[in-house]
Structure 1
Amino acid sequence: MAAKEILVIDDDPIILLIHQVVLESALPAVSCQYFEDARKALLYMEQCAGSDKEFLLFLDINMPVVSGWDLLEEIRNSVFKENVFVVMVTSSVNEGDKIKAGHYQNIYDFISKPLKEEHLIKLREIEEIKAFII
C-alpha cells in the first residue's frame, strides 16, 4: 500500500493555520505538510518521485508567482502525476474556475475556503480520496 500524505498549499498564512487546526483536530494521525509557495510543494513532490508516495493536495487557485493552475500544469507533465489527487480550496466565486477544474482528471472536489471538518466528512465519500482522510 502506498504511503499517503496531505499537502496544503495556500499563500495566506492565516488560512494555512486554519487548515492546520482543522486537519490536526479531525485527522490527528495523518501526515500533513503546509506550503505558502507552490514551487516548494512541487519540489517536495519531485523529491519523492520514484517512491510509492501518494499526495492529496488541498490547493488554492490564486497565488502569486505560481498559481494553483500553474502547479496543476506542472503536475500534469510530471512522472508522479498518477500519485496526485487534488481538492481545490479557494475563495474564488468565478464559475469559470469550476468549469476549468472539470478539465483536470485529478481534481476531485472544489470547495470554498476555509477547509472545514464537514468538508472532510464529505470527501470520505470519494473513493480515491477516502484513504487519505480516515
Structure 2
Amino acid sequence: MMTSKIKLLVIDDDDINIFIIKKIVEKTGYNVEMISKTNGQIAIDYLAGVVSSAEQLPQLILIDINMPVLNGWEFLEAYEKLGIAQSVDMYMLSSSVYENDIEKAKTYSTVKGFISKPLSIERLTELLKLVERQSSGF
C-alpha cells in the first residue's frame, strides 16, 4: 500500500452520506485526505481555487446526482469548462436506479463509472487501488 496520501473529493448534499463515506474511508486502510462539498457549485469553486493556486487536484471524485444549486450533471458541465487537463477518476455515486442516469453518465468522458448508494468498503478499496496504481505509473 502506498504511503502518499490520496486526495478524495466527495460532492453530496447529504451529511449522513458524507459521514458514512468518511467511516468507510477509515476502514479501507488507505491514507486518504477526504474533502466534502455539499453541492456542485461549491465543488466547482473549490476546484477552480485548487487549479489557480497550483495545488494538487483530487485523484478521485465521487459525485451525487441530486443536489441543490448545481446538481451532478450541471457540475460535470461546469467541470469540463474548467479545462483541467489532468485525469481525475470521477464516479457518479447515486441512489438513482434510473437506467437513463446510468446511460447519461457514460456520455461524459470524465466519468469512469456509476456506483449505486450505499458505497461499500470493497468498492471504495477497488477505486483507491486503481488510483494508487495510476499514481505509481503501474
- Relative to the length of structure 2, the TM-score reads 0.81
CA RMSD of superposed structures (Å): 2.5
- Decide whether the 8 Å contact of 1:61 with 1:67 is kept in 2: yes
Deviations 1:59-99 (A, max 9, x none): 10111221000000001111325343211110000100111
Distance 1:93 1:81 in 2: 31
Which residue number in structure 1 is paired with residue 57 of structure 2? 54
Three-state SS of the structure 2 residue aligned to 1:82 is: coil
- Decide whether the 8 Å contact of 1:61 with 1:69 is kept in 2: yes
User: Number of residues paired by the alignment?
Assistant: 130
- Decide whether the 8 Å contact of 1:27 with 1:133 is kept in 2: no
Residue of structure 1 aligned with 2:45, choices 34, 43, 46: 43
Distance apart, 1:27 and its partner CA? 4.2
Q: Which amino acid letter does the alignment assign opposite residue 44 of structure 2?
A: L
Residue of structure 2 aligned with 1:104, choices 101, 108, 131: 108
Q: Which amino acid letter does the alignment assign opposite residue 37 of structure 1?
A: N
Q: Which amino acid letter does the alignment assign opposite residue 105 of structure 1?
A: S
Gap change, CA 1:99 and 1:57, over 3 Å in 2: same
Gaps of 5+ in 1: none
Choose 64-73 or 41-50, whichever is displaced more.
41-50
Gaps of 5+ in 2: none
Question: Is residue 2:18 matched to residue 1:20?
Answer: no
Q: Which amino acid letter does the alignment assign opposite residue 11 of structure 2?
A: I
1:1-134, aligned counterparts within 5 Å?
4-50=6-52, 51=54, 53-55=56-58, 56-80=60-84, 82-123=86-127, 126=130, 129-131=131-133
Three-state SS of the structure 2 residue aligned to 1:96 is: helix
Three-state SS of the structure 2 residue aligned to 1:34 is: strand
Distance 2:10 2:87 in 1: 16
Q: Which amino acid letter does the alignment assign opposite residue 42 of structure 2?
A: K
